[in-house]
Amino acid sequence: MLSVRRRGFFALFPAAAILLLFLVTYLREGVVTVPKLSGRLGGLPSGDEEPTFWARLPVHYPPSHIRPLPTGKPVRYPRVQAATFPVEKDPDARARRRERRAIVRDVFHKAWLSYRELAWGADELAPLSGGTKNPFGGWGATLVDALDTLWIMNLRPEFDEAVARAATINFTSTDLPELNVFETNIRYLGGFLSAYDLSGDGRLLRKAVEVGDMLYKAFDTPNRMPIARWDLHAAARGAEQVAGKALLAEVATLSMEFTRLSMLTGDPKWFDAVQRVADAMAAQQDSTALPGLWPLEVDGKTAVFNSGSVFALGAMADSAYEYLPKMAALTGGRLPVYRRMYEKAVDAAVKHNIFRPLTPADEDILIAGNAHAKEHGIELEPQGQHLACFWGGMMALAARLFGRDEDMEPARKLVEGCIWTYRAFPHGVMAEAFTMAPCPAGAVAGDDECRWDEAAWKREVLRRAGKDPDAAGSDAEADAIIKKDRLPEGFTSISDRAYVLRPEAIESIFVLYRVTGREDLPEAAWDMFTAIDRVTSTELANAAVRDVTTPETPEQKDSMESFWLAETLKYFYLIFSDPELISLDEYVFNTEAHPFLRPLK
């Protein structure tokens, strides 16, 4: 086990132990100023490391200057986690929590052992056939993505074996014609950095530098904007590159990982690269068609972030917003621009994107939807997405960090909206995407205009289906659509009926629980976990399902993305763990649920 090896290392080399203690002290400050740190930890040989393949390539468009990491004392943010957790005071409740945690761990371990036996080193295990899939470079996405989960769940022999295997990954070779920079960043770079922050094993930081050097090459463009779908083969041959069209999330979700890598190595080049993107976003935030939010598509070639009419909170935009308060936490508040961007974005989203739906029991909940800029103004598209369920947790975290107490109520209602949506579907599992009938703008709990009205719901079902709600026989036609499309009450359409093992709902329940200590939230999480495991469990692991609206058991797909082990099961495990395990006052999670150390003083 790694812990045993560390004790032996300290016994043999006291000077190395002193050095490691010194470095860990500075790691918790958030910045390490010793360059080439990776060769001096985890039993690696001392001495300078050779530059990686990607670092040795010629640079076509070097930056005119490299911005240093911010310095000075970090902001003293308020405590994020609740002062007390009432459920922890009940011995029976604590015993129940530990039992549930063990069950979650068993589900993870079963999937991990199957991956280890049948797909070791591949990106994904196919959980029905036992085959392999390689959509993320073929470098072992599940292996790297799950490293910190192994550590958190105290599966140390499995962690040691996985680190040894991960240390052999060759990031210069792949069969993919192009690389998704965003996915590579959050899974591989995020995975290595988090596992290093938790374990201190220098092999992980060395691999993080290797991945960081590779992804940094995607910024070698005339205006230093990154290429989202990147031909790394051409880059490796020395070809010149130009950034192009990209989705907002793809270019705005690199900041946490690049900044943490700079903090750990003392090399500011990665921080400088992503801060250029943030500066462009900040400069254009007030000039979009919906000031405060950015449109879905951006133009990397011209660095234009303010041209477009669709403003979403879920797919294709989600983590761009998520990283604003999290970057503030990661940098200790030394860059006020992230708080300013967040506050403008959340104020606009609450006004234009977040809505209260009509529900059968008049539940006081909120759903995060889309907004469209039209000639007559901003128009709500009342579409809910599983991906958008992270908004409640993000708002709760930011409400505590920034002292925005007024945001706690919408944060709570967004989380409860996702809990309610899970329960509304027949198997207790939420569909990927759906629409609902929104209450009139500004309606609140108790308003007559937001009370359940079956006729109003059916009219919205007809409108969503492109039918005339005033035509003769419209009520019968609405009933036919509801039956054919298997619409639970309140839902007007379901555009994607799958559940693909996503984590966003449990993520927000976990964050809200850590922030408030509410006793009902672990119970909601347990209901969610048992429902998910019931429909996704296979002989080998867990599988995505095609349609959660069917009365019979949903058909499973031969797919298990790495985030099932990296995110979903990690959040379930943590909500049933001691609240001080990965405290939100010490760590901040990237969008793939990889915890990074925050500066503490």
Nearest CA among 538, 553, 539, 432 for reference residue 493: 432
Instruction: For residue 448, indicate whether it is catalytic.
Output: no
Helix (H) or strand (E) holding 91: helix 91-118
Active-site option among 88, 183, 475, 558: 183
C-alpha span between 85 and 131 (Å, rounded): 43
CA dihedral 420, 422, 423, 427 (to 10 degrees): 170
Structure tokens at 323: 């990283």
Q: Are 304 and 289 in contact (CB under 8 A)?
A: no
Alpha-carbon distance 394 to 398, whole Å?
6
Please enumerate in sequence order all residues whose Cβ is within 8 A of that of 509, keeping only pairs 6 or more positions apart, or say none.
393, 415, 418, 419, 521, 524, 525, 528, 571, 575
Rounded Cα distance between 187 and 562, Å, is 8
Structure token pair of residue 403 = 């002292």
Nearest residue to 257 via CA among 271, 236, 278, 243 = 271
Query: Hey, is 281 helix, strand or coil?
Result: helix
Q: What are the angstrom distances between the C-alpha of 116 and each of 112, 119, 406?
A: 6, 6, 47
Residue type, 498: A
Q: Is 318 a catalytic residue?
A: yes
Round to whole Å and give the CA distance between 283 and 271.
Answer: 18
Query: Which residues face 537 on adjacent strands?
Result: 542
> What pairs with residue 367 in β-bridges?
355
331 is in an annotated binding site: no
Residue 72 has, within 13 A of its CA and on its CB side, a CA count of 9
- Whether residue 504 lies in the annotated active site: yes
Contact status, residue 582 vs residue 152, Cβ threshold 8 Å: yes
Are 573 and 104 contacting, i.e. CB atoms less than 8 angstroms apart?
yes
Pairing of strands 310-311, 383-385: unpaired
Q: Give CA 32 to chain center in angstroms.
A: 26
Rounded to an integer, what distance in angstroms lies between the CA atom of residue 9 and that of residue 531?
A: 45
- For residue 26 the two structure tokens come to 């500075």
Strands 383-385 and 433-436, sheet pairing: antiparallel
Choose among 138, 264, 137, 149: nearest CA to 195: 149
Residue type, position 93, single letter: A
Closest CA to 236 of 53, 49, 51, 50: 53
User: Binding site for Ca(2+): residue ranges?
Assistant: 591
User: Binding site: residue ranges?
Assistant: 591
Catalytic site positions: 183, 318, 432, 504
